[in-house]
Amino acid sequence: MNVRDASLASHDADFIVEAFDSTLVPLAAMGSGAMWGSQPFSQKDGFVEENLKDVATSERYQTTGEGDALRIFIAEIEVASPAATGAITPHDAGQDVPGLRYRTAEDGKRYVSVGAAFVRTNWLPGHVRGQFDKEEKIRDELEGKKEGYVYLDVIVTDYRTGRYRKGAGEALIRRAKEYGVEEGMQVLYVDAWAGNEKKLNRFYERQGFLVVGDFTFERTDKPAWLGASTICVGTVDETPMKISHTRPVHKLRVWYVEIPAPPLGEGQ
């Protein structure tokens, strides 16, 4: 699994929208349809334009360090060559699948995009800030925190890619942790939907996340979104790290992982 920075030239904004759309039917089938609803993201007002803007913002920050501190990462997997044997899918036979997003690297290798993650520096979403006067655990962890952390704002995988998306979520979380270390941050935060028996929460816990607290996000003319905050301890290159998770859904849970300073002498 390869993880790279998103770019407009690779049509990654289009891929992200398509990946979101791909999740709706599978989520409904597994009992998690309430997480993102049933309306295709591509049909939501401003969603396509917002992703184009975000990818441009990420590229600018990556190359110049200017503008909003957002990095978007794309998980991709190498596609087999036409000479591959034992082909069981078009990918295995070296054929592109219509609708999926491919790119050819400078070394000639061919990749298909399978997932994306948005990571922001020293930023919290409004639905989390709105819990400070309601949830003591979340308030104690996050209120007044202005710097020293990164936030996993979005993580999504493309269900159209089938088994090729396996491991994409884990790879993107690893990259988010590494990015936090690169930026000298102490904490990585993220949130997730806590419905459907907290199945998504257990995924994050398998990555080393621990719970901070649960909360409910009220929405106008819609069922309340249940959220969870989880706290976890993980490692990045043998370095202990503290990560947090927060995201708006019916039930939510928040997690964190600490990123300690590197040993004296390193990076000096």
pLDDT in tens, the chain (268 residues): 999 999 999 999 999 999 999 999 999 999 988 888 899 999 999 999 999 999 999 999 999 999 999 999 999 999 875 444 344 455 555 567 889 999 999 999 999 999 999 999 999 888 777 777 777 777 777 777 778 888 899 999 999 999 999 999 999 999 998 999 899 888 888 888 878 888 888 888 888 777 777 777 665 555 554 555 443 333 334 444 444 444 332 334 455 555 555 555 554 4
Domains and CATH numbers, the chain: 2-258 (3.40.630.30)
Taking residue 56's Cβ as centre, other Cβ atoms within 10 Å add up to 17
Neighbouring-strand partners of residue 121: 150
3-class SS of residue 142: helix
Contact 73, 105 (CB under 8 A): no
Provide the CA 234 distance to its chain's centre, in angstroms: 17
